[in-house]
A and B are shown apart, each in its own frame.
Chain A
């Protein structure tokens, strides 16, 4: 019973991490049609800005700690906007190839800016809530439940935004047909800028929330971005629902696999990916035809 619970909750937790890391990537791809390597930079800035804010906060009021990930999300969103307006927007007419390279360049720069400001050593902080849920032999940290909650909340918020609000409809329209949307009197430029801000903010929030769990170091963003790439390739590029489903599959397979076939851990994800992509090359929820 204890084991079943552990396998289940660990799977869900890992899925939440994967979803938080890849959701922003999918949203940006949906509208801007680029693979944003800069997501790694946004994630890392979220991590370090959160770390910086925690260092500034007075230690006596633990409730204030929650300002850190939220502050990180806002700041990273704004920095994302700055990057989009300052650099990326000049690239929209160019090949995707060049757009990717620019976003890769910014990752290198942000890596070193972080190293300049915070040093090259790894960082880590204790969980923002230190309490545990104890039930029989089961001990589970409340903070992990909050991350699961945040991922679920994000999934719901995105569903609501895209399906139930005007902003969401405009974003979806833009991703389907830019010219037509422009003709309807909507500024596609603004939609793109907003989407980039939003996607970056999600990456920043993910980084901020993950700081107490994973810690970080300059370069961690790229390391985890490869994980997200695997998720979105399996999900189908641009599909947020796909990312959710894929994250759940990978999370559960990983949790079960480590328990029963620990020696093969490295191979799980690749086997899954090979399986899915050979059946459906465009990914589970991919609409693209070759």
Chain B
């Protein structure tokens, strides 16, 4: 970390420790030392399960990279309250493999906590295994809103060991609609989404919310390409013929950059604004954001390079720099989300330790999650009684920002209180009443 940044490792650790303050408890320096001296000799076993093969690697694998950096950082600074962290890396893969991996991690390797899982289907299959074995599972990447529910059809009963670090699909799509209404009032929207459950959910919720916040906005086209379609020319022809102001898409990985590339080539970016995760996926491909996309809106997410504003939120700069120095790249969303999940785990350990006065058991750590507030590179997350974190989302417009692939101009902080359904309500039903 550069000295002149004026914000050091020590400051970062302090600020992270402050996370527990919001929960009403705070460890003093002396307490920390006492806990560290008394810490169990066995390392705290942490497993990360994230895509390392296949198309979703661009979303999942940054989580592995971030955790390697963070775990090294902690181990060099005395570990987690005096306990060394032991990290294991697993590929995610299809459901059968995730189930097997979770059984192995919980039953054979007996890890203390698991982070990661990007596919909603995988997260839903993994959660009961973690819950059954009383292993803490922080779902950091998948957007499904059901993962912390005991039963996928009942929004009122929650799992005790399963937590969710990022917001769900509903809050995700609703934020996009709010940003669209704010930056492009009266927008003519062309929807392009991959033809599977996630794409359809994003479309439905965005449509519902946009109609309410901006009655003048209209949908001019709806296109449903298959995942991994090699060529979007026919879709672009349709877009061009309907003359939208905003082309809203929920592509990820190579689909996202391919779609943006082809839109730029065919002149779509000149007439319409592309709204999607393009910046992030150009950055995993280590390409600068094309200049044609400057001034276009990103899909609002929990954190983007320079959002939250690093001058006001030093943790953002601290972690973005940490990742940049290791990988010469802006932190991709997958890395930032996994980092945020890990810091929540750290805060929960400290909070539980402050209550019990000793190194907490996994049950005690899990119990410390509800009501927890934690500072990380994306802002503050607060963990609610249903195990889900409410994490702020950031919108704006792309700008150039050296050395990152892009930065964010006209930062707009989307109020999570307004787009996250309260615990115990089905968000899909709740957003309709919105």
Contact = CB atoms under 8 A, between A and B. Distances in A.
Tell whether any CB of A sits under 8 Å from a CB of B in the complex.
yes
A266 B195 contact: yes
Interface in A181-195: none
B285 A122 contact: yes
A121 B234 contact: no
Contacts, number: 135
Interface of A is mostly: helix
Interface string A240-275: 000000000000001101110011011000000000
A213 B231 contact: yes
Contact of A13 (B61, B233, B258): B233
Interface in A206-244: 210, 212-220, 223-224, 227
A262 B226 contact: no
Q: How extensive is the interface on chain B, given as a class?
A: 35 or more
B55 interface: yes
Nearest to B287: A124
A127 interface: yes
Given A224-B230, A262-B224, A121 B57 contact: yes
Contacts of B223: 258, 262, 265
B311 interface: no
Contact of B53 (A13, A219, A224, A258): A219
Interface stretch (A2-10, A77-85, A97-105): A2-10
Contacts of A132: 265, 267
Contact of A265 (B52, B195, B228): B195
Contacts of A144: 233, 265
B221 interface: yes
Contact of B234 (A7, A214, A215, A220): A7
A9 B233 CA distance: 9
A218 B286 CA distance: 16
A215 B257 contact: yes
A120 interface: yes
A65 to B, nearest CB: 16
B241 interface: yes
Q: How extensive is the interface on chain A, given as a class?
A: 35 or more
Given A217-B254, A265-B225, A115 B53 contact: yes
B257 A263 contact: no
B54 interface: yes
Contacts of B262: 213
Interface string B235-271: 1111011000000000001100110011001110000
Given A121-B57, A127-B265, A213-B230, A3 B52 contact: no
B233 A255 contact: yes
Given A213-B262, A262-B221, A17 B231 contact: yes
B224 A139 contact: no
A214 B258 contact: yes
30 contacts: A3-B237, A6-B237, A10-B234, A14-B234, A120-B52, A121-B58, A121-B284, A122-B55, A122-B253, A122-B254, A122-B257, A124-B254, A124-B257, A126-B261, A132-B265, A139-B266, A140-B266, A210-B230, A213-B231, A215-B254, A215-B261, A217-B55, A218-B57, A223-B55, A258-B225, A259-B234, A259-B241, A262-B221, A262-B223, A263-B222
Given A124-B258, A213-B258, A219-B55, 20 more contacts: A6-B241, A10-B231, A10-B234, A13-B233, A14-B233, A17-B230, A120-B57, A121-B285, A122-B257, A124-B261, A124-B285, A126-B261, A214-B258, A215-B285, A217-B54, A217-B57, A227-B230, A258-B225, A258-B235, A262-B235
Interface of A: 2-3, 6-7, 9-11, 13-14, 17, 111-112, 115, 120-124, 126-127, 132, 139-141, 143-144, 210, 212-220, 223-224, 227, 254-255, 257-259, 262-263, 265-266
